[in-house]
Amino acid sequence: MDCGLAVRPASPQSPIRNPQLLAGALILASLPSLAGAQQPDSLPTDTLAAVVVSGVRLPTVRELARGLAGRTATLHAADLDARGVRSLADALEQLPGITTSDELGAPGQLDVTLRGFQVSPTIGLPQGVTVYLDGVRVNEPDAHEVNFDLLPLEDVDHVDVTYGPSVLLGRNSLGAAVNLVTRRGTVPAEREVEVSGGSFGRYELKARAGDRRGMWDYYVGTRYEHEDGWRAATPSRTATLFGKLGVTSGTWDATLSYAAADNRIFQAGSLPESAYAAAPRVNFTPGDYFAPLAHLVTLNAHRLVGGMQLALNGFGRALTTDQFNRNASPPDTRERNRERLGGGAVQVSGSVALAGRPLRWLAGVDGAYQHTAVRLYAVRSTSPDSLTESVLTNEVDLGAFVGANWPLAPALTATVAGRYDYIRVPFEDLLDPGQSGLNIFRRLSPRVGLTWSAGSGHELFWSVSRGFRAPALVEIGCADPAAACPLPFALGPDPALRPVIATTYESGWHFRGPGGHVDLSADAFWTDVSDDIFFVASNLTAGYFQNIGATRRAGIELAGQWESGGVRLYANYGYTAATFRSAARLATPRDPAGETVVPGDVLPLVPDSRANAGIQAPVVAGGTTGRSLRVGVDARYVGRQWLRGDEANTTRRLPDYAAADASLLLEWQRFELRCMVRNVFDRRYASFGTFAANPLAPGSPVQRFLTPGLPRHVQVSVSAEF
């Protein structure tokens, strides 16, 4: 089988897919501003108040956002650049209690575990974290997965993470919600080109340009990356394009943006443990790949209306994907998806006096229409692809939300919020119309909290909130015990699953020292989950999704940062106990009849402890030469984890591991040289483990399969500003 880059059949050529066209964009971005040295026009003095989006989907004033969320964290573009991250999963790993694993054997498609909930590009996993790009939900409608490779991370200004059920952000946010806020043009103008190269045949070209002229601003960024891959037959190509046009008047602030991605990523997957130990670069089933083509148009606007603030959001999104899986025994499988989505949101916020104190409030509605078509094929080398499943849904999501905070006392603020969701998921089988069906889900999700500002930079908060996750299309279509689905899945109108309900109790403390040099926080959470959805075995190669009684995630998160004189120190620690709280019979390749979990058994791939720390420090300050040199070291520790397929906790766990990264940054005038060394000590570790039949061994026994972590690798980049 040819494992090189395949050519997509007759389709319009995308400019982000063609390196020659991309080179033109790089040159264009480096050109001087057409306005030359002209100074920006002055802006009106009655502009909008400063806004934030942490804890809410659309912009609102900072005083209102305070208390609407519990623990929050923000990663700025400088944080992402300092570590040379290549995906959102990489970026989130800097935060306490967040772990990544590599099920697919593709560094750009990692799984993320946060507070025992997952967000992943893998179809079929229960997803408990919602991801937004400029307020647009990017979890896919077929299985709620997130394709991290489609996100324009290099064009992101900051990443907001809201822990716990995010009532105001929307459904499915059981463990957290993540919102990526993209850049826009600023003063002074920026024009930068970056070229990088490194281990495993990786090279990357990036360019961006932005400016503000009077009431108008613009930003454009583009990226092309190619890598041969460190494991056999795993080349990848990633191309993204992002542009944003903005306008700011006295009362209006609006942006219109476009994001596109055209990728092809070959995946190595996991290995039998014997092969993992002897030859970790081996690709057990070469030829697996994922090839998406995505387009997203987003309009965001907010303005003052009397004493209120109005915020609007509208979007249109198109995605086509081709996922090919080579099986150890024929036939191979191919899944082709087609998604067309559109929707928006409207939010109004303001303040009124109540008992002589300001009652700050917001209210809004949102909605989305999601057309999703899924086709599954059996692939044989001796005959054309055979269509085995063809289903579609035209899902309608509607929601309404309201939130308010009110000071009970000068230092004590109470918060109340709620959200109501209506989700309609029709299921249409195009091969057998008699198998079509309809699922409707309705849910009210509340939140209450207290925030106490203790003075001297100390703040305490307490909250209880509830979130829910509606079953995904794949889960709905494979939920009948009397008609188990052969893997990967055969879809049909099975009995309705109940939505997953998560109730979180959270309490925390935050301290910010004078001048912002010291930032400390501690947080404790307890999340009870009812009707969690798991895959239940009927035999070794078939099963179905089913609600189980209860699970729980509980833990603590500690974070500290000190910054002064260009030196930055940070340390984080997270402890998570993720356990089953009721007995259930679950699928496992280790036993055709499945396995029984009992209360207290630990959920797989959730390490109990996770710690990371780092330092960045100047070695040579700028001075008269204009040269500066900074070094950085980051280290992480990940505790032991149970393998997927061993939910009953009866076999060996994945060993714990530690790894370290180092960076060097040299700046001189408008040039920047960066060197990154990941896994400096070349530690060998496995971040993912499961069980599967090994057809290459006598008798095809079920064995442990592990995914090796990346060995030591280097990347060097040079950038220039114009």
CA separation (Å) from 469 to 2, 44, 58, 180, 197? 40, 44, 21, 21, 41
Q: Which two tokens stand for residue 711?
A: 């060995």
- Identify the residue whose tokens are 């995605």: 319
- 21: number of CA atoms within 13 Å, CB side? 10
> Over the stretch 570-625, which tens digit does the pLDDT of each residue have?
999 999 999 999 998 887 888 888 889 999 999 999 999 999 999 999 998 876 56
Name beta bridge partners: 453: 459
Say how many CA atoms lie within 13 Å of 36 toward its Cβ: 1
Query: In whole angstroms, how far apart are CA 526 and each of 430, 503, 559, 566?
Result: 44, 8, 18, 37
How confident is the model at residue 583, as a pLDDT? 95
| pLDDT(490) > 60 | no
Instruction: Give Cβ neighbours of residue 315 (< 8 Å, ≥ 6 apart).
Output: 136, 296, 297, 298, 299, 341, 342, 343, 344
| Residue 30 reports pLDDT greater than 80 | no
pLDDT band at 543 (very low <50, low <70, confident <90, very high): low
- Give the integer Cα–Cα distance in Å for 498 and 531: 7
- Sign of the alpha-carbon torsion through 698, 104, 428, 339: negative
Alpha-carbon distance of 532 to 580, in angstroms, equals 10
The domain defined by 21-721 folds into Maltoporin; Chain A (2.40.170)
Token pair, residue 683, equals 């530690």
Question: Which tokens is 57 given?
Answer: 């989907």
Q: Angle at Cα 185 formed by Cα 59 and Cα 130, nearest 5°?
A: 40
Place of tokens 């989950």: 529
Helix, coil or strand: residue 514:
helix
- Tokens for 90, please give them: 């990489």
pLDDT digit string, tens, across residues 638-669:
999 999 999 999 999 999 999 999 999 999 98
In tens, the pLDDT along 422-438 reads 999 998 989 988 888 89
| Percent of all residues in the chain with a pLDDT value above 70, rounded to a whole number | 87
More confident residue, 166 or 287: 287
* CA 589 centroid distance within chain: 29
Reply yes or no on whether the pLDDT at 315 is more than 80. yes
Mean pLDDT, to the nearest integer, of 552-562?
A: 97
> What is the reported pLDDT for 29?
41
Q: Are 674 and 689 in contact (CB under 8 A)?
A: no
Q: List phi, psi (to 5°) of 374.
A: -120, 125
* Beta carbons within 10 angstroms of residue 512's beta carbon: 16
Q: Is 83 exposed, middle or buried (0-12, 13-18, 19+ CB in 10 A)?
A: buried
Q: Residue 387 in contact with residue 432, Cβ under 8 Å?
A: no
141 prior amide bond cis, ω within 30: no
pLDDT score for 46: 41
pLDDT tens digits for 358-386? 999 999 999 999 999 999 999 998 899 99
For residues 216 and 59, the model is more confident at: 216
